[in-house]
């Protein structure tokens, strides 16, 4: 049997933490110059692409996706349209598309990364969609081109494509790999609410109108290279912490509940997800169990993990 023109694919992309998030002054577009260290962690978004006449997107998963139902301009739609715009006349002919006919694809997104949680879940969806549409339509665009499209979709989307541990400069989209050793074991505490990233940055501007140029500490990079989780815990830092706690004061309760476990914590991105760094997988599972018993949604994960990748052809 001839191979189908449209390939059904399954792509998985990870959520992320920012082990350092140093935020500089605001530029004229309202964006901030960042110096950040991203780490991709083992909490994933899955995107399944199959044939359809137009671009159709649906969301399901372990997080409540009801607010996304019916939305027709999500990052997933936008990512699919950007890939569609890359088609050449030859591609269109091969796919049997008329000159004015838009290509279609059905994209089913299974979400595990919290929505508006500061872990780049939407960015992971977008990165996975870029890869899935490219493969579904058989375009074979270079990774570098997909990374350019990714940067147009959002500052964190290029990182979701590459994953692992990376230094992010500019808006967070100029990436350099960071050497790390071994695995780091995190416990995520996922809040039952989201916060708006622009609102957190806005509050940061009020709190720090004189923010200096951003930088990442040398100690953090050395600790990552040595696989020294105590060193990472001592040097990880997020400049948005005070701003996020101002907008979500309930976070202080989680910190109070966790204080007895003497584990260093970090706000993930613009929050409200909190990440506790433990010594090993056993400690992470133990802390996740304690925090779950105290009524929190706590999940043990590890990093670094790869960026968007094919799981299997369906
Ligand atoms: O690029 P992205 O759409 O993910 O950014 C979301 C929001 O985060 C922006 O509208 C902006 O308020 C804030 N942001 C910023 N500086 C950055 C990245 C994001 O102020 N470098």
- CB atoms inside a 10 Å sphere around CB 285: 14
Residue partners of 254: CB distance under 8 A and separation at least 6: 189, 191, 274, 296
Q: Which residue has the tokens 């590890």?
A: 302
Q: What b/e readout covers 124-142, taking b as 16+ CB neighbours within 10 angstroms?
A: bbbbbbbbbbbbbbebebe
> Which amino acid residue places its CA nearest to atom 14 of ligand 1?
31
Give pLDDT, residue 314: 55
Q: How far apart are CA 83 and CA 244, in angstroms?
A: 34
Residues within a 6 A CB radius of ligand 1? 30-32, 34, 154-156, 171-172, 197-198, 201
- Note the pLDDT tens digit of each residue in 9-28: 999 999 999 999 999 999 99
> Which amino acid residue places its CA nearest to atom 19 of ligand 1?
31
Structure tokens at 201: 């940055």
Closest CA to 11 of 94, 107, 103: 107
Omega before residue 93 within 30° of 0, cis: no
- Note the pLDDT tens digit of each residue in 36-80: 999 999 999 999 999 999 999 999 999 989 888 888 889 999 999
Q: How far apart are CA 229 and CA 109, in angstroms?
A: 33
Give pLDDT, residue 210: 92
Residue partners of 148: CB distance under 8 A and separation at least 6: none
- 98 has pLDDT over 90: no
- Note the pLDDT tens digit of each residue in 264-286: 999 999 999 999 999 999 999 99
For the CA atoms of 253, 198, 232, 36, what is the dihedral angle to 10 degrees?
A: 180
Q: Exactly one of 16, 134, 173, 239 is catalytic; name it.
A: 16
- Note the pLDDT tens digit of each residue in 189-222: 999 999 999 999 999 999 999 999 999 999 999 9
DSSP 209: T
Q: What b/e readout covers 73-109, taking b as 16+ CB neighbours within 10 angstroms?
A: ebbbbbbbebbbebbeeebeeebebeeeeebbbbbbb
Q: What is the pTM of this model?
A: 0.95
| Closest atom, ligand 1, to C-alpha of 32 | 16
Is residue 111 annotated as part of the catalytic site, yes or no?
Answer: no
> Which amino acid residue places its CA nearest to atom 11 of ligand 1?
198
Taken in order 84, 90, 92, 96, the sign of the CA dihedral is negative
């Amino acid at each position: 049997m001839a191979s189908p023109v449209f390939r059904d694919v399954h792509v998985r992309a990870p959520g992320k933490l920012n082990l350092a998030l140093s935020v500089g002054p605001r530029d004229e577009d309202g964006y901030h110059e960042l110096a950040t260290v991203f780490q991709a962690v083992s909490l994933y978004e899955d995107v399944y692409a199959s044939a359809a006449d137009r671009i159709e997107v649906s969301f399901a998963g372990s997080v409540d996706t009801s607010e996304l139902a019916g939305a027709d301009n999500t990052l997933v739609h936008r990512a699919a349209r950007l890939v569609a715009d890359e088609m050449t006349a030859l591609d269109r002919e091969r796919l049997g598309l008329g000159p004015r006919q838009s290509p279609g694809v059905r994209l089913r997104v299974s979400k595990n990364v919290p929505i508006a949680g500061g872990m780049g879940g939407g960015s992971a969806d977008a990165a996975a969609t870029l890869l899935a549409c490219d493969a579904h339509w058989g375009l074979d665009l270079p990774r570098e081109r997909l990374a350019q499209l990714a940067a147009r979709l959002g500052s964190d989307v290029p990182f979701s494509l590459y994953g692992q541990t990376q230094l992010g400069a500019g808006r967070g989209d100029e990436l350099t790999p960071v050497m790390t050793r071994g695995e780091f074991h995190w416990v995520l505490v996922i809040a039952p609410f989201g916060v708006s990233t622009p609102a957190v940055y806005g509050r940061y501007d009020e709190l720090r109108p004189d923010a200096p140029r951003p930088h990442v500490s040398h100690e953090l990079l050395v600790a990552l290279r040595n696989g020294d989780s105590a060193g990472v815990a001592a040097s990880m830092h997020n400049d948005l912490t005070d701003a996020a706690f101002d907008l979500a004061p309930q976070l202080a309760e989680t910190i109070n509940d966790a204080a007895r476990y003497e584990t260093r914590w970090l706000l993930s991105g613009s929050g409200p997800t909190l990440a506790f760094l433990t010594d090993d997988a056993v400690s992470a599972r133990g802390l996740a169990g304690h925090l779950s018993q105290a009524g929190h949604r706590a999940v043990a994960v590890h990093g670094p993990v790869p960026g968007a990748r094919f799981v299997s052809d369906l």
